[in-house]
Chain A
Amino acid sequence: MDLSLNDEHSMGTTIIGVTYDGGVVLGADSRTSTGMYVANRASDKITQLTDNVYVCRSGSAADSQIVSDYVRYFLHQHTIQLGQPATVKVAANLVRLVAYNNKNMLQTGLIVGGWDKYEGGKIYGIPLGGTIVEQPFAIGGSGSSYLYGFFDQAWKEGMTKDEAEQLVVKAVSLAIARDGASGGVVRTVIINADGVTRNFYPGDSLQLWHEELEPQNSLLDILNTPSPEPMNF
């Protein structure tokens, strides 16, 4: 079996950004793979650009890191020149410029989210190629394929902070269950007028979904396990 251990580090990934009434919640899984080998099972894919703007990274780990580094540098200079924190829109536009102008060399999808005093909480999706789209919520990465239907049903306007975070954790957890390139823990970052809060949900604290067996200590326990329950909401 070929593990392709010399492949480029890639973050299969599930990344999510969601606005709520008063700010944004960003969420991501934590698996970084080289081929079939999990190079890092607890990576942090939510990276800081400024005090009030963060970015979720997916695709090539190196590419997304370098883009974040450049944008952090430009934003820092911009903040000094302007004399006040940069807006989320400006941060997203700088990310877009780097992604678009280097589209032939880069392979990374990003979600920029943050809060500023003029527009409040905002989410911008910047997929491969360098389009920029402002959205009430955005999903990205290989795991996001399994979440389109889920969000169509579960998303609503004007959620509270806790509702939004629970939605994000649930969604990442569902994607991890189905996407081989996503896994590990769920990390969230909440950004609002009061500041930034980071949360961590270990893999075993996540709800089990349809067909996922209970953990077993002995093969003989198979004889005693009840049949799996139907999915609840």
Chain B
Amino acid sequence: MSSIGTGYDLSVTTFSPDGRVFQIEYAAKAVDNSGTVIGIKCKDGIVLGVEKLITSKMMLPGSNRRIHSVHRHSGMAVAGLAADGRQIVARAKSEATSYESTYGEAIPVKELAQRVANYVHLCTLYWWLRPFGCGVILGGYDRDGPQLYMVEPSGISYRYFGAAIGKGKQAAKTEVEKLKLSEMTCREGIIEVAKIIYKVHDEGKDKAFELEMSWVCEESKRQHEKVPEVLLEEAKVAARLALEEMDAD
């Protein structure tokens, strides 16, 4: 799994003798150290959720957004180095508007994911650039229905039913696999995502966290938006309840 690549890990343009590029693997570690990010594809849309770790009591709630709208119909949740994430979001927004200017229609989510992945990969090809230290979960709703993609620092991009990155990704993935996503609506999905994030949050190691969620579904008229306050509160209450029940056992 993890090993020190002495001598072969100084540059992203160097392969190790066993065929690995260590700089990219180290970039992935930066993502693993960040708060958990989850995305799920329900039958009528996508739900994205972020465990936003609060580093200081002085921070204003609602600031330092981790979920961004890339276009009317799609949004991105970032994990890892926040500043790197901002660059990727900016690039995705620019790709989306330039596609629409040229082709006269909203960029298909698949195409957007490919362009973001290409851009991330670009930065793994030159010695004078460092790889992006962040992973991205991209969710959107176009004429082919709702779609969820994940882009890693290596530039790999796959389409998923459910995806998780960050600290609690292993536990989160296990929980997501238990869900029957093809029968779930986004309303139900919001509750489930909140429950999972509360569950994988490590009270011991990290202190407070803020839950940030967004969706794009039939209910939101296929636009990417923050989950409405009312529903967000409902989800938080349900998640806390589920946690207490678990603890009571």
Contact = CB atoms under 8 A, between A and B. Distances in A.
Q: Do A and B bind each other?
A: yes
Interface of A: 78, 81-83, 87, 89-90, 92-94, 96-97, 118, 132
Nearest to B104: A93
Interface in B203-222: none
Q: Which label, helix, strand, loop or mixed, suits the secondary structure of the A interface? A: helix
A201 to B, nearest CB: 34
Nearest to B100: A93
A89 B111 contact: no
Contacts of B143: 118
Contacts of A83: 110
B103 A93 contact: yes
Residue with the highest number of chain B CB atoms closer than 10 Å, among A78, A92, A93, A94: A93
A81 B112 CA distance: 12
A92 B103 contact: no
A109 B103 CA distance: 20
B108 A90 contact: no
Nearest to A96: B104
B111 A90 contact: no
A82 B111 contact: yes
Interface string B40-81: 000000000000000000000000000000000000000000
A172 to B, nearest CB: 29
B102 interface: yes
Interface string B72-107: 000000000000000000000000000000111100
A72 to B, nearest CB: 15
17 contacts: A78-B103, A81-B111, A82-B108, A82-B111, A83-B110, A89-B104, A89-B105, A90-B104, A90-B105, A92-B104, A93-B102, A93-B104, A94-B102, A94-B103, A96-B104, A118-B143, A132-B104
